[in-house]
Amino acid sequence: MRRRDLLAGLGAAGVAGLAGCLDAVPTVGETTLGWFAIYNYYEARSYRFEARVERDGDVVHESTHEVAAHDPESESNSPPNAVLPCTWAHVPGDYVVSVRRAGGAWNRFDLVAGALRPPDCVVAFVRHGDDFGPSDDPPAFEFVLDETDCAEVAPAPGGCEAAADPS
């Protein structure tokens, strides 16, 4: 047997042996963004935030929101927030959300980066500052992502209504 024939045979056998295994390798997939909000925990001042939602590389939402400073003494003790109107539709894809203080640098968050099996639907929000008072000047952004059932998110303010009936 010639060396070239042996190598060709081993290569073919290796590819055939891997054929059944490739289905077991998890791949990064798609998710649906059911809701997105910006919370301002910063007590010192309000901010104007710019937000962007991208799906599969295309911008599907852009908006600007003025969010008041957090008052921990308020009756609700809940930080002021802006829930983005769901204009991106209930469509699975590779979502990236970006937020910045008006005119500042964008903070980008990929919703499926590093996920072996992304959930069918997620809710996401960013926290500006923190709930223990400002720790950075200017305050930093923290990204929070939760798996959810899109049908439960649909009736919530800002929830994607199409999620209730994705057909």
pLDDT tens per residue, range 72-115? 888 887 899 999 998 898 889 999 999 999 889 999 999 887 66
The pLDDT value given to residue 28: 52
CB 133 within 8 A of CB 40: no
- Asked if residue 83 is part of any domain, the answer here is yes
**Does residue 11 fall inside a structural domain?**
no
The share of the chain scoring above pLDDT 70, in percent, equals 72
Q: What residues contact 92, with CB distance under 8 A and at least 6 apart?
A: 30, 31, 32, 120
Mean pLDDT across 125-145: 75
What pLDDT is recorded for position 154? Answer: 73
Number of domains in the chain: 1
What is the pLDDT confidence band of residue 7, given thresholds at 50, 70 and 90? very low
| Within a domain: 14 | no
> For residue 69, what is the domain's CATH number?
2.60.40.3110
Q: Are 102 and 47 in contact (CB under 8 A)?
A: yes
Domain that holds residue 41: 26-164
pLDDT of res. 78: 83
For residue 34 the two structure tokens come to: 């059911």
Asked whether 129 and 138 are in contact (CB, 8 A), the reply is no
Distance of alpha carbon 98 from alpha carbon 109, whole angstroms: 6
Residue 34 included in any domain = yes
In a domain, 3, yes or no: no
pTM over 0.75: no
- Give the side-chain half-sphere CA count within 13 A for 111: 32
- Is residue 144 domain-resident? yes
| Domain assignment of residue 112, yes or no | yes
